[in-house]
């Protein structure tokens, strides 16, 4: 775990030095490449990084997801304090919304933030937090109780050295990256660290996810394109039955399906990112992109493993790593089933408006 932590810190630093993290934040005054986060640039960067290294893609993505709420909802002071170091790679960001009993049903979260004078006391738990254990700050979503459900949640920036915040558990997963469960015990956070208005937390979380959801699709494309490249290389060189594997029509059908699926998912992905950059609502389009790209990438990578035969299941072989890397993408930032519901709800709502109008 220590090795992964070190590698991740190094990648964040290198991405910062290379200027790539400027695309993960918004606001030129704070070191960003543009005033608002450029969704297409984020997608291109993630697709490219994922093609070469799942951990590099993760390091880049988390700087964006972990600071996106500050870029979009922070005060000038909050932006000035956090964003330049995120862009330089000298501070590591994290986004903490999930809890043991609130994953897909995120509005059920229970972590509480109670007002106490000029500060809030946070009590509760967060789990599956990427960068947990190495982050310098966490965007934490906690219940302030204005109303039940989604409307009673607020967002806070919590520095990792705040008393009362404990890294309770480090979690090892199939595609290793820093991940942890956090516990808050009377963790005192100044009211000035709240993002946006009290009760606005759910909206802040959803609009941050709206920007980055299509970039999860882009990462899946990167993994899938690498798998296709590896499959082409292996199948055109592996000799069997007096010819090479790619000479068989059964193999050609696999390659054709992989390439076509990947390109169709790419069109959905960049449509969503483009609409986001135009300032249009993208909830349905981003859900279509995330669902399709992660699902087809899983299938394409599975085909690559099959083409490699036994070599494909050797630990740390490139296609075996891709097989592990892609799996969590179908679960986090909204599982495939959640995306299906988002798409269907959007369609039904649009249809009802049309029928009425």
User: Rule CB under 6 A: which of 145-174 touch ligand FAD?
Assistant: 173
The answer to whether 154 and 110 have CB atoms below 8 angstroms apart is: no
For position 35 contacting ligand FAD by CB under 6 A, the verdict is: no
Least separation in angstroms between residue 96's CB and ligand FAD is: 5
d(CA 341, CA 345) in angstroms, rounded, equals: 6
In this structure, the number of other CB atoms found within 10 A of the CB of residue 229 comes to: 13
Residue 184 DSSP label: E
In the complex with ligand FAD, which residue's Cβ is closer, 114 or 336?
336
d(CA 297, CA 319) in angstroms, rounded, equals: 12
In the complex with ligand FAD, which residue's Cβ is closer, 130 or 235?
130
- In Å, how far from its chain's centre is CA 178? 13
In the complex with ligand FAD, which residue's Cβ is closer, 33 or 71?
71
Binding marks (x or -) toward ligand FAD, 322..351, rule CB under 6 A? ------x--xx--x-xx--x----------
In the complex with ligand FAD, which residue's Cβ is closer, 139 or 266?
139
Given 130, 215, 294, 298, the residue binding ligand FAD (CB under 6 A): 130
Given 41, 97, 153, 182, the residue binding ligand FAD (CB under 6 A): 97
d(CA 134, CA 58) in angstroms, rounded, equals: 13
According to DSSP, the residues that pair with 183 across neighbouring strands are 125, 166
Reduced 3-state DSSP string for 83-138: HHHHHHCCCCEEEECCECCECCCHHHCCCEEEEECCEEEEEEEEEEEECCCCCCEE
Least separation in angstroms between residue 64's CB and ligand FAD is: 12
The answer to whether 137 and 127 have CB atoms below 8 angstroms apart is: no
Least separation in angstroms between residue 128's CB and ligand FAD is: 3
What are the structure tokens assigned to 268, written together?
Answer: 């959905």
Tell me the site size for ligand FAD, rule CB under 6 A. Answer: 18
In the complex with ligand FAD, which residue's Cβ is closer, 76 or 104?
104
In the complex with ligand FAD, which residue's Cβ is closer, 125 or 261?
125
In this structure, the number of other CB atoms found within 10 A of the CB of residue 160 comes to: 18
Least separation in angstroms between residue 131's CB and ligand FAD is: 7
According to DSSP, the residues that pair with 244 across neighbouring strands are 239
Q: Which residue is nearest to ligand FAD (CB)?
A: 103
Least separation in angstroms between residue 73's CB and ligand FAD is: 17
Determine which one of 35, 295, 333, 337 is catalytic.
Answer: 333
Given 75, 76, 104, 264, the residue binding ligand FAD (CB under 6 A): 104
Least separation in angstroms between residue 200's CB and ligand FAD is: 17
Closest CA to 126 of 58, 180, 201, 70: 180
Is 333 part of the annotated catalytic residue set? Answer: yes
Closest CA to 49 of 219, 267, 230, 290: 219
Residues tagged active-site: 333
Residues that bind ligand FAD (CB under 6 A): 95-98, 103-104, 128-130, 173, 179, 328, 331-332, 335, 337-338, 341
């Amino acid at each position: 775990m220590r090795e992964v932590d070190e590698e991740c810190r190094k990648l964040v630093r290198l991405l910062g030095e290379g200027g790539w993290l400027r695309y993960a934040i918004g606001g030129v005054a704070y070191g960003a490449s543009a005033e608002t986060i450029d969704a297409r640039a984020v997608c291109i960067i993630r697709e490219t990084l994922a093609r070469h290294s799942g951990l590099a893609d993760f390091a880049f993505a988390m700087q964006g997801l972990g600071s996106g709420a500050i870029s979009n909802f922070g005060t000038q002071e909050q932006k000035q304090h956090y964003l330049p170091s995120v862009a330089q790679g000298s501070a590591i960001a994290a986004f903490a919304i999930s809890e043991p009993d609130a994953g897909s049903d995120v509005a059920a979260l229970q972590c509480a933030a109670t007002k106490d004078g000029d500060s809030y006391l946070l009590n509760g738990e967060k789990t599956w937090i990427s960068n947990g254990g190495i982050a310098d700050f966490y965007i934490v979503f906690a219940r302030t109780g204005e109303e039940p459900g989604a409307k009673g949640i607020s967002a806070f920036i919590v520095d990792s050295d705040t008393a009362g915040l404990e890294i309770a558990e480090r979690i090892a997963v199939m595609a290793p990256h820093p991940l942890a469960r956090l516990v808050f015990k009377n963790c005192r956070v100044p009211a000035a660290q709240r993002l946006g208005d009290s009760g606005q937390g759910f909206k802040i979380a959803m609009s941050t996810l709206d920007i980055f959801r299509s970039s999860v699709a882009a990462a899946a494309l990167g993994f899938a394109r690498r798998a296709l490249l590896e499959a082409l290389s292996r199948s055109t060189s592996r000799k069997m039955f007096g010819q090479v594997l790619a000479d068989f029509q059964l193999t050609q059908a696999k390659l054709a399906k992989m390439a076509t699926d990947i390109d169709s998912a790419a069109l959905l992905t960049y449509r969503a990112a483009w609409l986001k950059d135009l300032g249009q609502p993208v909830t349905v389009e981003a859900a279509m992109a995330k669902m399709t790209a992660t699902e087809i990438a899983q299938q394409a990578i599975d085909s690559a493993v099959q083409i490699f035969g036994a070599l494909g299941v050797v630990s740390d072989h490139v296609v075996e790593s891709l097989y592990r890397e892609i799996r969590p993408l179908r679960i986090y930032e909204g599982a495939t089933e959640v995306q299906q519901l988002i798409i269907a709800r959007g369609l039904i709502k649009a249809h009802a408006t049309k029928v009425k109008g």
